[in-house]
């Protein structure tokens, strides 16, 4: 059984030391992220260096790996409006080197987390409410 907790900016744990561990697949847009995780943990005015417009801080718990902390974020897009309209869109893959997808940050392997999120997206599941731990049947 797996559990997801999405944090808001007031109670988000420190994510210092996290780095890029992977990407979500193309097709997952900003609106899909809102549907899956609720409002972002951090928005443009929270970004100290201006490289990230939207970031979700997510704790992922599994029996095998315990608690793992991940971040989901856009990276170096022109502005927040562009991210809302374009991040995750397959046609943007040609415009940006490597494409514009949601980045996954963490301190450890993120493959299981990425697979879990993509599976939830594919099956129409959501982790909608913030700071509510939800046990999911998959």
Structure confidence at residue 110 (pLDDT): 97
Per-residue pLDDT tens over the stretch 92-138: 666 665 558 999 999 999 999 999 999 999 998 887 554 444 444 43
Per-residue pLDDT tens over the stretch 42-81: 987 766 677 899 999 999 999 999 999 999 999 988 889 9
Structure confidence at residue 23 (pLDDT): 95
pLDDT for residue 82 is more than 90: no
Structure confidence at residue 132 (pLDDT): 43
SS (H, E, C) the chain: CEEEEECCCCCCCCCCCCEEEEECCCCCCHHHHHHHHCCCCECHHHCCCCCCCCEEEEEEEECCCEEEEEEEECCCCCCHHHHHHHCCCHHHHCCCCCCCCCEEEECCCCHHHHHHHHHHHHCCCCCCCCCCCEEECC
């Amino acid at each position: 059984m797996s559990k997801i907790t999405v944090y808001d900016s007031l109670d988000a744990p420190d994510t210092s030391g996290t780095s890029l561990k992977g990407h979500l697949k193309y097709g997952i847009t900003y609106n899909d992220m809102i549907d899956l995780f609720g409002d972002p943990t951090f928005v443009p005015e929270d970004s100290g260096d201006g490289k990230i417009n939207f970031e979700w801080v997510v704790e992922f718990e599994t029996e095998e790996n315990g608690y793992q902390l991940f971040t989901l974020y856009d990276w170096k897009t022109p502005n927040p409006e562009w991210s809302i309209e374009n991040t995750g869109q397959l046609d943007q893959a040609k415009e940006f080197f490597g494409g514009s997808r949601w980045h996954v940050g963490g301190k450890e392997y993120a493959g299981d987390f990425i697979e879990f999120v993509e599976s939830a997206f594919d099956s129409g599941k959501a982790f909608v409410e913030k700071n509510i731990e939800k046990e999911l049947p998959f």
